Amino acid sequence: MHNQSMHHESMHMEEVVISAHPLSSAGLSQATDTLFGEELKRKLDANIGSTLARQPGIHSADFASAVGRPVIHGLSGPRIKVLEDRIDTLDVSVTSGDHAVSIEPFIAEQIEILKGPSALLYGSGAIGGV
């Protein structure tokens, strides 16, 4: 029989803080735009695509006056993710150009736009932007 004595030793380690939200303006590697307040009120239009069309690198793919989907750096449809309060809207406008985006810009308090690799934090369907 082996006689082993247990030796207990405690070690003090530094505290680790983990943030719940993966995005912060300091940690983003690419361009972000935020519309809010008076600037958002000035740019409001009939749909989300037209509202964002005056932002750099964005235009609207319009099918009719009420239907407009954002196009970011030439990418649209399933390559652009549209979220509301960071939740996917399951937007049917990606299936056909005559379907409106399900986001209502007139009730928005703030609109955030992510472009480039940082948008991929929301999945491969966001390669063009969020």
Q: For residue 29, what pLDDT is reported?
A: 58
Q: For residue 26, what pLDDT is reported?
A: 55
Q: For residue 39, what pLDDT is reported?
A: 92
Residues 6+ apart with CB under 8 A from 36: 109, 110, 111
**pTM greater than 0.85:** no
pLDDT exceeds cutoff 80 at 37: yes
Averaged over 37-46, what is the pLDDT? Answer: 89
The full set of domains in the chain, from first to last, is 32-126 (2.170.130.10)
pLDDT exceeds cutoff 60 at 27: no
Contact 83, 26 (CB under 8 A): no
Averaged over 57-80, what is the pLDDT? Answer: 80
Averaged over 47-63, what is the pLDDT? Answer: 85
